Chain A
């Protein structure tokens, strides 16, 4: 009668240890990502990143460089990154001037040769 009890308590102690380990690893001291890429940025930071790119593009008209910068955001295409930024900007209440800057960059990117199947 004594032996099964010991096994039970042994299993309980393992489960308790496991639970403590998970809490420690996920909550108390989780893995810290300190060297993340821009594609992991939160949506509002991504939108601001795209806005900076649009501001610079408005001044230098260097579409190649703007396009390269936007690829950092990890979207399907640079155009998609700007479109997403416009939507996020609208949600966050960006000024019309900022939206216009993003729109100008989107228009310039849209003018690039289309991909197969069609382009939105």
Chain B
């Protein structure tokens, strides 16, 4: 007897595979969204974000910036969302300043919206056209409309979506360059924090370089930091607070040399160093720091 079966087993296999595939992609290994935008925030965090925008607006008074930030939350009506949050903030007994900021920004955004609407609607034409029977001022100078060839055409800049632009971390070539120690100075300066390690990194042209990763390691730990975080001093500057009695090693950049044996040393009030290790007497001595300068090879 010949067994006769149709192609149903294929559909069974397909359905089985489909179910397993969907379950795997949804439950076992779902798509990870690490780089989300503010619109995807949890409602509580959205409210915090909105409050931050309002408080920042109160601080800097920059309406354009506040509006650009509000757009990121993708509220249908930002002004209404701000007002609603202000009401909720009152009920939740949030700080008065936050409520005021939300209210103020809501009012300002609403007013800006009204103004924009007024400018875009043809209502202004009716306002400018004199009503029938009205007297036309005789002393008004009639300015002829310039022909197109008399006009100076200026391109209208397309507004850039700066707030939503994805950052492109194009590593500058110099960041991968290697740096060598070009100067070392023991510092005894009471004006500086005790045990301060100061680093300055320069490129081959002698200009300070920001964003260079440096790693400070000691027995039991390490800490990475970058130059450029103290722009008031120099874009190529970074510092690190060393603890007395701890010996550190420092690596600058990805392939730079490692400087070992860095530790605070004792300084006398006259500014001379007296040694390492033992604690300075409180009245007379203090912990000095080190200043290192690196240059691109």
Contact = CB atoms under 8 A, between A and B. Distances in A.
Interface of A: 6, 9-26, 30-31, 33-38, 40-45, 47-49, 51-53, 55-56, 58-60, 69, 72, 83, 86-88, 90-92, 96, 99-100, 103, 106-107, 114, 116-120
B218 A21 contact: no
A91 B48 CA distance: 26
A111 to B, nearest CB: 9
Interface residues of B, number: 74
A38 B69 contact: no
A17 B14 contact: yes
Interface in B37-86: 37-38, 40-43, 45, 48-49, 52-53, 55-56, 58-60, 69, 72
Interface string B218-254: 1011011110111110000011111100101000000
A91 to B, nearest CB: 6
B33 A59 contact: no
A37 to B, nearest CB: 6
Contact of B17 (A21, A55, A106, A107): A21
B36 to A, nearest CB: 5
B18 A17 contact: yes
A43 B21 CA distance: 32
Contact of B48 (A35, A47, A72, A114): A72
Contacts, number: 214
A43 B26 CA distance: 26
A99 B231 CA distance: 8
Interface string B169-196: 1100000000000000000000000000
Interface string B265-296: 00000000000000000000000000000000
A59 B58 contact: yes
